A and B are shown apart, each in its own frame.
Chain A
Amino acid sequence: MAIIRVENVRMAGLASSVPDVVRTVDDDIERFKSEDFRKIGESIGVTSRRIAPAGVCSSDLCVAAAERLLEALEWDRDTVQAVLFVSQTPDYRAPATACTLQTRLGLPTSCAAMDINLGCSGYVYGLATAAQFVLGMAGGQEHGGRVLLLVGDTITHFVSPDDRASAPLFGDAGSATALEFSSAAEPIVFSLGTDGRGLKHLIVPAGGERQPRTEETGVRTARESGNVRSDEDVYMNGAEVFSFALQEVPKMVRSTLTEAGWSVDDVDGVVMHQSNKIMLNHLRKRLKFDEDKFLIALEGYGNTSCASIPLAMTHQWATAQTSQKLRLVLAGFGIGWSWGGAAVTCENMVMPELVIYETPKSEATTTQAVNEAA
């Protein structure tokens, strides 16, 4: 596994946001005409989730979180030296969404900006990249090298509402994390890996250069087990994802702990990508973590792709200012296959309450107009 050890970088704050639109198990029961979805919802740990209406982008959710975070941190925006955006649902095919974020957030033009295209593992990769940026740019100066890491997805825009495997599971969310140089910070250790053979088991096949959009790729048809979707929708083979996670996640977590010099008992909290409750419970047992240290925060949100780790942290620890020192193990894994673990000590992190993103009225009107025109 690729190991990165970073000294003198601290997570200064974290905020998360979800859209104001809720979809519930009852909606699934009605859609699929099947009471089974109540039991499915209980098993996967998702009884409702947040959905971004068409026209609301992951960047919008991230901006809402970033605004709240910058306000809470009282950072002078001119001190931000880089903005990184992790997502698989960018605003445009081109340019990079991070460039638009520099302007939208009022950051200086001296600010570096770039996108990172990763899903479930993306938060950890984003942190690893951001931490390197901080070190490189701070020049050893306290509070220097400030980086904003925006991580979010509106993955439901790629989910067919008639695909039983994914429709009841996914939700949308955004997040913003602030990092800066601090000589008092404890080291952060990252452990990263990839196996591209997992490509076909979790994928949106059409819409890129490999398989461009055509009239046919957008047509939803009945597939395996009667699931209805198009090649522009996400396909997920849950059993393959689970099998992959069993193979790699325990190894990754153990390697992260070993590199950090931590035992299982040293850890105050484990925050895994919130894939689904069955998988999380099994991984917890396998790794022998206590239930009260192991976050399961799917209820009410669903699996929110790259945003699930920061969202779970906000759900668990959000207060105006948390002074408690927390040794956390973060573990992202999934689409790619791609995985990343991190051992990070959080202290005096600013963590505002969850931001509920209000869909702008004009947005709804525009969306309606677009739909009517189509």
Chain B
Amino acid sequence: MSQPVFCELLDELFELDSGTATGSTVLKEVPGWSSLTFVGLIAMIDEEYGIALSPSVIMSSETAGDLERKLHTMLNSSEAA
């Protein structure tokens, strides 16, 4: 399975023009960020990465890039285990 491209998924989730979100996009400043999209983001990550993420991981991520790195760390450690 090819790695999903996190920023493309963010664009899709928030209904943004393709290429809008980048690694340096601040999550809380994404247009349409709300508690409901927060839930949508958890669902999307579960679907694409198979990780049931704790909301605190998202809360502690400043940018899309920060969150993506955490996801990859989790994926690698679960593969190692």
Contact (Cβ within 8 A) B35 A243? no
Secondary structure of the A contact surface, majority rule: helix
Contact (Cβ within 8 A) B46 A246? yes
Which of B18-26, B50-58, B60-68, B69-77 forms contacts with chain A?
B50-58
Contact (Cβ within 8 A) A286 B46? yes
Q: Report which of A40, A237, A240, A247 forms a contact with B36, defined as CB distance below 8 A.
A: A40
Instruction: Fill in one digit per residue for A266-288: 1 if any B CB lies within 8 Å of its CB, else 0.
Output: 00000000000011001001100
Q: Which residues of A pack against B, CB within 8 Å?
A: 40, 43-44, 164-165, 225, 237-240, 242-243, 246-247, 278-279, 282, 285-286
Is B14 at the interface (CB under 8 A from chain A)?
no
Query: Within the complex, what minimum Cβ distance (angstroms) separates A41 from chain B?
Result: 11
Complex-state Cα separation, A239 to B58, whole angstroms: 10
Is B9 at the interface (CB under 8 A from chain A)?
no
Q: Which residues of B pack against A, CB within 8 Å?
A: 35-36, 38-40, 42-43, 46-47, 52-55, 58
Contact (Cβ within 8 A) A278 B35? no
Residues in B neighbouring A165, C-beta threshold 8 A: 35
Least CB separation from A236: chain B residue: B35
Closest 5 CB pairs of A and B: A246-B52, A239-B55, A282-B43, A239-B38, A247-B52
Complex-state Cα separation, A157 to B40, whole angstroms: 28
Contact (Cβ within 8 A) B42 A243? yes
Residues in B neighbouring A164, C-beta threshold 8 A: 35
Given A246-B42, A278-B43: A225 and B52 interface contact (C-beta under 8 Å): no
Residues in A neighbouring B39, C-beta threshold 8 A: 238-239, 242, 278-279
Given contacts A43-B36, A239-B42, A242-B42, 17 further A-B contacts (CB under 8 A): A225-B35, A238-B36, A238-B39, A239-B38, A240-B55, A242-B39, A242-B43, A243-B53, A243-B54, A246-B43, A246-B46, A278-B36, A279-B43, A282-B46, A282-B47, A285-B47, A286-B46
Q: List 29 A-B contacts (CB under 8 A).
A: A43-B36, A164-B35, A165-B35, A225-B35, A237-B55, A238-B38, A239-B35, A239-B39, A239-B55, A239-B58, A240-B55, A242-B39, A242-B42, A243-B42, A243-B52, A243-B53, A243-B55, A246-B42, A246-B46, A246-B52, A278-B36, A278-B39, A279-B39, A279-B43, A282-B43, A282-B46, A282-B47, A286-B46, A286-B47
